[in-house]
Structure 1
Amino acid sequence: MTIKADYGPELMMKDLKRLVRKHPFVSTGSIGKSALGKPIPYLRIGAGPFRWHFNGACHANEWITTLLLMRFAEDYAHACSRRHPFWGKSAKDLFSRCSLWIVPMVNPDGVELVQRGMTAKHPYHKELQEWNRGSNRFHRWKANARGVDLNDQFPAHWEEERKRRGIHGPGPRDYSGEKPLSEPEAAALAQFTEQTDFQAVIALHTQGEEIYWNYRDCEPSESRAWADRLALAAGYRAVYLEGSDAGYKDWFISRFRRPGFTVEVGWGRNPLPLADFDYIYDDVARLLAEALDCAPV
């Protein structure tokens, strides 16, 4: 796997192709396209009846979550292929119990903007300069290419979140858009979730080393116990969160009444430095492997 400071959509696509060539039991496809027409790929590992979903890089400057998911997928596929233990668990057993769909980069346009900035040829060049207060530095940009925060886009008390944020136009963060699922990335993820009928989901974000597992008392009874297991595996804290709406896991929990989690990985200021990758990955891989093991036998 390529670990570089500018791990963006192109490197991810190359690594996905290489992973599928090396491990034929790994499949890949696309859930849709971004605002600028980039594919939003997924990969699938496993043949079990329990349908898990992990996603990352919903927020542009949290792109290290893509790299974490890609490394996890590579290590898991290798363990399945060699029938090796996987973070203290049987990879063969997890493979037979779970079907795992990973969307490693929900927001490819935003990630590219954070990493490369923009040129005068960018379709939103004029608007982005205005939305970014005239700055050409986008390292703090969380939104997509149209200045919408994708994790404030989901129809779970969206109006309340928009009012709470108090942001009325596009910008680097916290603008909820003109309506729920107005952005193609959020709409594609919601449609993919509906079509695949996931039984549990994890959205990786940064930072704080916390796990949010509840939403307005809609979560099922097992959610707290699962969150405690994930927290113990990673050394994170399971947190009961209030006063937040319109996120992906909020919508998933309220829509399906199934376990959904937001995991805030690492510690520091976004974007987290690649120098911290190895120790973050050690925690996150243990957490994600534990999540797979939560699936009923």
Structure 2
Amino acid sequence: MKITWYKVKKGDTTAKIAFYHGVGIEALMNENRNIPAYYSYLEPGTFLRIPTNIGYDLSEKDYGCLYEYGWRELETDRLKMHSMIHSEKIGASVAGKPIWLFRTGSGKKKIFFSAAWHGNEWLNTWLLMKFLKEWQKNRIQKKRWFGIDLEELCREITLYIVPLVNPDGAALVQEGIHGVQHSQEEILKINEGFKDFRHWSANASGVDLNHQWPAEWKEEAASSPEHPFPRHFGGYTPLSEPESKAIYELSMKEKFSHVIALHSQGEEIYWGYAHQEPAESKELANRLAKVSSYRAVQTADSKAGYKDWFIKEFKRPGFTVETGVGQNPLPMEASMRMWITCLPLLLESCTFPDFS
């Protein structure tokens, strides 16, 4: 077995390096005993020993998501998209990372999917980008998808997708403090000096982007942290964060027929808010539950979320969909189950009535 040397660059993780060099993670770790077996982040500029001629074959079709999917991977995939899927920058994160919107279709019914409001839920970014790539492939090949004629559907709907609302939070979870070049001392202080960010759900200011919304924000804030924190701190005022403002401005401009915000804990579908949702919301949630095997639940024990605000503001259907089960961040092997269960849910939602 031959050995080559590799210099770690920004954004690298053990899973990414193993994938791009065609080796297993265990083989990579065995050659680099200086990397702790316990979860660790790689220091840019250090060198790793890479075993070669192993012939380790990795396929997304066989294993699902194979490495951490963040803003760099999204940018690479964005540039490969067919012209049928338009992308535009709608804002930037606290640390200056782009927030990308993807749009496809030409119909008057506008639908919005979003994901990775919380940094440790980045697997849903992979899920929505895979959805877009499969959508594109099926349209090019003129294939029906779960019995749906996508060309006909695209004449009825315009689909808007923001796969990564919180790029800074995802980068912290995946890369540690190296993932942001902004207020590193303050971020470490919020994290009590610990360099493990797997539990981090906030943005780079320590604000939970799904607790930022003017839908009983004060009531939610009363039972949440009062200062920047890795999770649940809703900010000092609603919509204080650039990421939240970007989604707010998009929503006010487009006035979607309905929205789905993906999270990843519980395999549940929350469809209500303070009894202000349309009468049809329960039936629609049950349709989503039937095709996904998730459980439809009227409300969660929280307020000030994006879905809550959307229902309050527009009196139209809004859904928080929890795609996974377990502790966040979910392991990459959970991606197959997430894809298999959530794909029919997303497609089913595209057939909902127009509430605009």
Tell me the TM-score range normalised by the shorter chain.
over 0.9
Which deviations, in whole Å up to 9, do the C-alpha atoms of 1:142-200 show, x marking residues without a partner? 000000000000111100000022x1111110101100000000011011110111111
Alignment-mate amino acid for residue 217 of structure 2: W
Equivalent runs, 1:129-140 vs 2, <5 Å: 129-140=188-199
> Within 2, Cα distance between the matches of 1:121 and 1:102?
24
Alignment-mate amino acid for residue 226 of structure 1: L
Q: CA deviation at 1:296?
A: 4.6
Equivalent runs, 1:111-260 vs 2, <5 Å: 111-119=170-178, 122-165=181-224, 167-260=225-318
Which deviations, in whole Å up to 9, do the C-alpha atoms of 1:75-122 show, x marking residues without a partner? 112212222111232222221211000000000011101100114983
> Within 1, Cα distance between the matches of 2:246 and 2:239?
9
Q: Is the 8 A contact 1:97 1:295 kept in 2?
A: no
Alignment partner of 1:76 is 2:138: no
> Within 2, Cα distance between the matches of 1:183 and 1:46?
30
> Within 1, Cα distance between the matches of 2:152 and 2:239?
37
Which residue in the other structure is 1:273 paired with? Answer: 331
Equivalent runs, 1:78-93 vs 2, <5 Å: 78-93=137-152
Alignment-mate amino acid for residue 34 of structure 1: S
TM-score, normalized by length of structure 2? 0.80
> Within 2, Cα distance between the matches of 1:119 and 1:101?
31
Q: Is the 8 A contact 1:153 1:186 kept in 2?
A: yes
Structure 2 residue matching 1:226: 3-state secondary structure: helix
> Within 1, Cα distance between the matches of 2:235 and 2:354?
38
Q: CA deviation at 1:242?
A: 4.9
Change (3 A) 1:121 1:214: closer
Alignment-mate amino acid for residue 201 of structure 2: K
> Within 1, Cα distance between the matches of 2:279 and 2:334?
35
Structure 2 residue matching 1:89: 3-state secondary structure: coil
Which residue in the other structure is 1:7 paired with? Answer: 69
> Within 2, Cα distance between the matches of 1:227 and 1:94?
20
Alignment partner of 1:28 is 2:28: no
Change (3 A) 1:245 1:208: same
Alignment-mate amino acid for residue 259 of structure 1: P
Which deviations, in whole Å up to 9, do the C-alpha atoms of 1:252-275 show, x marking residues without a partner? 000000010000001111111111
Q: Is the 8 A contact 2:95 2:181 kept in 1?
A: no
How large is the Cα RMSD of the aligned pairs?
A: 1.7
Unaligned runs of 5+ in 2: 1-58
Alignment partner of 1:59 is 2:118: yes
Structure 1 residue matching 2:227: 3-state secondary structure: coil
Q: Is the 8 A contact 2:172 2:180 kept in 1?
A: no
Q: Is the 8 A contact 2:171 2:180 kept in 1?
A: no
**Higher RCO (C-alpha 8 Å, min separation 6):** 1
Q: Is the 8 A contact 1:45 1:77 kept in 2?
A: no
> Within 2, Cα distance between the matches of 1:5 and 1:135?
23
Alignment-mate amino acid for residue 135 of structure 2: Y
> Within 2, Cα distance between the matches of 1:239 and 1:285?
19
> Within 1, Cα distance between the matches of 2:166 and 2:115?
9
> Within 1, Cα distance between the matches of 2:173 and 2:263?
16
> Within 1, Cα distance between the matches of 2:208 and 2:117?
8
Which deviates more from structure 2 when the two are superposed, residues 123-132 or residues 9-18?
123-132
Alignment partner of 1:263 is 2:325: no
> Within 2, Cα distance between the matches of 1:68 and 1:87?
17
Q: CA deviation at 1:295?
A: 3.5
> Within 2, Cα distance between the matches of 1:276 and 1:152?
26
